[in-house]
Structure 1
């Protein structure tokens, strides 16, 4: 699905090709949001984007590839926000506001594509964790947690902060339990606040194994 290679940016493309790609992805994203991924039609996407259907097939190959491209396009924008965007999501803010802003932005990102993310994350037992985007999230949060408290087990706590944003739990809370997105964000804020308030009891390094 997502690869950490996003950090280097996509290869250069012609202006007209880039324009068509953006129109196709925008049309596909709108259709998926309105009717779900299963209802996505390459013909309808081409019509909505104002391009020939052959252009859509040449660019993306098939419907599955187009769906993943929609996920990837949204992911690129999210990564750009927390890596180089304005504070508090991007660099320049203190650790706690950045952690909160990151969790809120990830909640918004998950809300937009939770059905697609659920499919991707449940492809195999560890699909979510093997994906390059998760590794980047974890590294980013671990860095912020370590800045907040150098004594904390930052790697563990980063995983703990990301756990509520797994697509299956997120969808269960939103669609089965009826929690609002605002309530989810309030819960994430409480986790972050608790992290900042609690004294660390251990080291960021794992204990040495005993003989």
Structure 2
């Protein structure tokens, strides 16, 4: 399994570290008041009492800022996923996939706004390919689907299937099911498993 980390650790000058903390504090305050989508980078710079250039040198867009804000939580998420996959490595692949989805849906519920900010500020075409979170999830999903379906030519395309599942896990589709359809996270998890995991894949 890969060693997931959003950004490598870096030694910062004191003034750079102070600016980063001011940016983070300002962003969290504004996001809490107005929501991630409604807050601009210029508003964050003003709230942090720094110039826009200082902000953009640190973060090219709001997606990168949201990734930094969520970094520690994402590290813990993948640590939990990897530990569960290792602890249950004798379990059928379908059962391990269900566990992975459960971890991510619980995370999504807690970090919905920041995840939406990461997605919405990314390029419109193939946007999830630009997010390290979705890159790592995609890699794990492909491995599990290949274990379930095999890799023979003309069979199930595990990359395609992982793409479709990630689409369902993305903010637009997921929040529609939560808010538009009124489904609970538990019901969404059950329906995802019924849709993407063959019955035989959950059996020894």
1:126 aligns with 2:129: no
Q: Which runs of 5+ in 1 are unaligned?
A: 47-52, 201-211
Deviation at 1:169, TM superposition (A): 2.0
- Which residue of structure 1 aligns with residue 171 of structure 2? 167
Tell me by how many angstroms 1:164 deviates: 1.4
How far did residue 118 of structure 1 move? 5.2
**Offset at 1:139?**
0.3
Indicate whether 1:137 and 2:132 are aligned. no
Q: Which residue of 2 aligns with 1:179?
A: 182
* SS of the residue 1:137 aligns to: helix
**TM-score under structure 1 length normalisation:** 0.62
Give the C-alpha shift of residue 30 in structure 1. Answer: 2.9
Counterparts in 2 of 1:18 and 1:74: CA distance versus 1, 3 Å: same
**Greater relative contact order (CA < 8 Å, ≥ 6 in sequence):** 2
Question: What displacement does 1:28 show?
Answer: 0.5
Q: CA deviation at 1:25?
A: 1.2
Tell me whether 1:100 sits opposite 2:102 in the alignment. Answer: yes
Does the alignment pair 1:12 with 2:11?
Answer: yes
Aligned pair in 2 of structure 1 residues 69, 160: CA closer, same or farther (>3 Å)? closer
**Residues 66, 117 of structure 2: 8 Å contact kept:** yes
Determine whether 1:61 maps to 2:68.
no
Unaligned stretches of 5+ in structure 2?
89-95
When the two structures are aligned, how many residues end up with a matched partner? 183
Q: TM-score, with normalisation over the residues of structure 2?
A: 0.64
After TM superposition, the structure 1 stretch with the greater mean CA deviation from structure 2, 135-144 or 150-159, is 150-159
> Is 1:29 aligned with 2:12?
no
Deviations 1:80-117 (A, max 9, x none): 1243x2457765443242342134324543x1235524
